[in-house]
Amino acid sequence: MKNNLKKIEGVFTKKDEISPAYINTKNPKNIEIDNIYNSGIIIVNYNRENSELILKKLIDTNINMNISVFYEKQDSYKIIRNLTYHIANVGVDLKDGKTNATEVDLAAFTYNDAKYIRKEIQVNNEDIYFLYIYINIFSNKEKELEFLLNKIEGILESTGMQTRRATFRQEQLLLTTMPFMINHEDLKPAAKRNILTTGLLCTYPFISSAIFDEDGIFYGTNIYNESLVFIDRYDENKYKNANMCIFGTSGSGKSFFTKLQIIRYKLLGIEQYVIDPDREYGNIAKELNGTIIKIGASAKTFLNVFDIREESIEDEKGYLATKISRLIGFFNLIFGVLDEEEKAILEEKIIECYKEKGITFDDKTLYKNDENKINIKPIFKESKDMPLLEDLYNILGKDERTKKMQIKLIPFVKGSLNFFNNYSNIELNNDLIIADIYELGEENLKYAMYIFIDYFWDRIKKNRKIKKAIYLDEVWRLIGITSNKDVASFIYKIFKTIRKFGGSSIAITQDVSDLFSLENGIYGKSIINNSSNKVFFSLEEENISILNEYTKLSEKEKIEIRSLKRGECLVFAGDEHILTKIECAEFEKKIIK
C-alpha cells in the first residue's frame, strides 16, 4: 500500500538560528539563557565631585560583563527656570529658619548645588544631561555569578558609587545592555542622575589599558582584561627609540621573555647580536640557524682587540682616534682605573704600537693600495695587518713607567688568557649571532663582553637601513662597580646613538643594585632614560627601592612588581604602563627549551 502522505517542510529563518533554545525567568535575581546566567546592577548614585574616570577600575577587570551608558540632553532654559524657582523657595525657608537643624543642612546643601549648576549653565555654557549606567554580568555558573556581582559592587562602592541590583527587572536590564539602544522605562527612575558636560568626561568608557601597535610583535595579554599586547619598538612615530631594559630576579621569566623576543624578531628578518655569558642561547641559535661564536681556551675562534674595521669610524673622528678611545676603556678593565697621566702614557704606547704596523692618524695608512692609482680600488687592511696584545706587551716593557702594566698583561699574552693574543678569524654572514663567553669564568667575562660589543657595534653601523638589535645580558658587568667610566661611557653611547643606525639596545640584568653602583648610578640612569621600553619582572624589595630612585614608579606599580608571578611583568611602552602575562606558542617553547 502506497504512502500518500505529503512531506511537510518547515520554515527556518535566520531569526530562529540566532534565537536561544530556552529562557528561564523564574528566578527574580537572574535570568538564564542557554545555560548562561545573567544578572544586572544599576548605578543609582555618584560622588558629588569626580576627578578620575569612574569606569576605569571596572573596565580593567577581566570579568564578563556588558555596560550601557545613556545620556539624555535636557532643555537648558527649562532647567534654569526650575532651578531659579527652587533657589527662591529654599532661600525663603532658610531665611525663616522654621525647619529643624537637619533639614536646614539638607536645604543649604541643595540650595548651593542648585546655584552652582545654574551658574555653570549660564556663565560657562555647560549643558546638562540625565545620566544612566547599567551593568549586566554573566557566567555559566550561578554561584560564580553571585561572587562576581559582589566583586563588582565592591569595586563600584570603593569609587564612591551606590548600586542597586535589578531584582525582578532582569529582563529589562538585559535588553538595555544589548545593542538595541533601549533605555527601558522600568529602569530609568532608579538610574537617572543629572550631570554637566564636564562631568561626562568622567564616564568616558574607552580607557582599557591596551597596546596594539600595527606592526608590533606579540608580548602577551593584559593581566586585568586579557586584551592582546603588541609592541613595535621600532615605531619612530610612537617611541623615541627602540631600546629596552629588562629587569627581574632569577626564575621570574626574564630570560624566557628575551628568547621569545629573539625568536619573533628573527621571523621579521631583523639582525640580532647576543652577548651570552651564561650559555643560555645556544639552543635558539641551533633551531633558528644562527651562528654561535665561542671564545675561550678550547675555542678555535679569535677576536683581536686591536682590529680597526672599515665601518668603525664615527662622526668627524679618524679611525685611529676612534679606536684609541675604545682601547683605553678595555685596558682600564685590565689595569684598573687609570689616572689622566697614566692614560696619556698608555695612549702614547698604543700609538707607537700601531705605528710599527704602518698605521697612523692619517686614515690613508689603513688602506693597502694607493687611492691615487687609477682603476685600483683601495683595500682596507685586515686583522693580520693590525698589532696584537703581544706587541703592546713588548713596548710596555721598554719603559720603566709602564712595566706594571706589562706585568698585568702576562696572562693575556703568555698565560691562561692567551687566546686574546690572536688575529681575528671570524667571517660572519648571518642575521643571528650568539657570542658564547661562558668558558671565560666569572672574573674574565667582562673582557670578552667588551670585545664582542665593540665588534658588534661596528657591524651595526654598517647599514643604517637594516633593522638590528644587540642584547647585553648581565650588562651590569660593564656599567657597574667592577667596570670603569670609559667602558660605561661606551655602553651609554651605544644606547644613545644606536637609533641613528636603525638599531635597538637591550639591557638585561637581575642585579639592579650593581647597575647603579658606578659613579653614583649616572650610567645606569642614563641607560634607563634612553630606553623607551622597560619590562619589570618580579623584583625584591631592595631592587624596587633602587629602581624607584631612577624611574617614575607609582606606589601601585611598586606593589604590583613585588607581587608578580613567574611569567608576569609590568611593561612600560612609551607613556603606556600595562601589566602583562607573557604568552607563547608550543613551538616557541620547544625552541627555547
Give the pLDDT confidence of 506-527 residue by residue, as tens digits. 999 998 988 999 988 999 999 9
pLDDT at 191: 96
Q: For residue 56, which amino acid is it?
A: K
Q: Which residue has the cell 639591557?
A: 507
Cell of residue 59, nine digits: 573596565
CA angle 449, 450, 452 (to 5 degrees): 65
User: Quick one: which H or E segment has residue 569?
Assistant: strand 568-573
Contact 527, 245 (CB under 8 A): yes
User: Checking DSSP bridges between strand 217-222 and strand 228-231, what pairing results, if any?
Assistant: antiparallel
Q: CA-CA distances (angstroms) from residue 261 to 58, 225, 269, 505?
A: 32, 23, 12, 13
Contact 312, 458 (CB under 8 A): yes
- Mean per-residue pLDDT for 125-152? 95
Nearest alpha carbon to residue 393 among 466, 472, 522, 306 = 306
Q: Is 347 exposed, middle or buried (0-12, 13-18, 19+ CB in 10 A)?
A: middle
pTM, two decimal places: 0.74
What digits encode the pLDDT tens for the residues 324-351? Answer: 999 999 999 999 888 999 999 999 999 9
Question: CA-CA distance, 562 to 555, in Å (whole number)?
Answer: 11
What digits encode the pLDDT tens for the residues 300-331? Answer: 999 999 999 998 877 667 899 999 999 999 99
Nearest alpha carbon to residue 191 among 83, 79, 25, 46 = 46
pLDDT at 101 over 80: no
What digits encode the pLDDT tens for the residues 534-585? Answer: 999 999 999 999 998 888 788 888 989 999 999 999 999 998 889 999 999 9
Cell of residue 528, nine digits: 634607563
Q: What is the CA 161 to chain-centroid distance, rounded?
A: 33
Phi, psi of 123 (to 5 degrees): -90, -45
- Mean per-residue pLDDT for 416-442? 92
Assign 359 a pLDDT band (cuts: 50, 70, 90): very high
Nearest alpha carbon to residue 552 among 567, 569, 568, 536 = 536
What digits encode the pLDDT tens for the residues 40-76? Answer: 999 999 987 777 888 888 887 878 999 999 999 999 8
pLDDT at 1: 47
**Alpha-helix runs per DSSP H in 34-141:** 56-59, 76-96, 101-122
Question: CA-CA distance, 160 to 154, in Å (whole number)?
Answer: 10
The number of residues making up the chain comes to 593
Other beta carbons within 10 Å of 344? 10
User: End-to-end CA distance of the chain, in Å?
Assistant: 73
- Mean per-residue pLDDT for 421-444? 92
Cell of residue 306, nine digits: 686591536
pLDDT at 370: 60
Give the lowest-confidence range in 9-13, 224-228, 414-418: 9-13
pLDDT at 3: 55
CA angle 350, 355, 358 (to 5 degrees): 140
pLDDT at 414 over 70: yes
Nearest alpha carbon to residue 483 among 503, 506, 460, 453 = 453
Q: Which residue has the cell 667596570?
A: 483
What digits encode the pLDDT tens for the residues 224-277? Answer: 878 899 999 999 999 999 999 999 999 999 999 999 999 999 999 999 999 999
The number of C-alpha atoms within 13 Å of 238 and in the hemisphere containing its C-beta is 18
Question: In terms of pLDDT, which residue wins out, 549 or 452?
Answer: 452
pLDDT at 5: 54
The residues near 63 (Cβ < 8 Å, ≥ 6 apart) are 137, 148, 151, 152
Cell of residue 378, nine digits: 683601495
Residue 36 gets which letter from DSSP? E
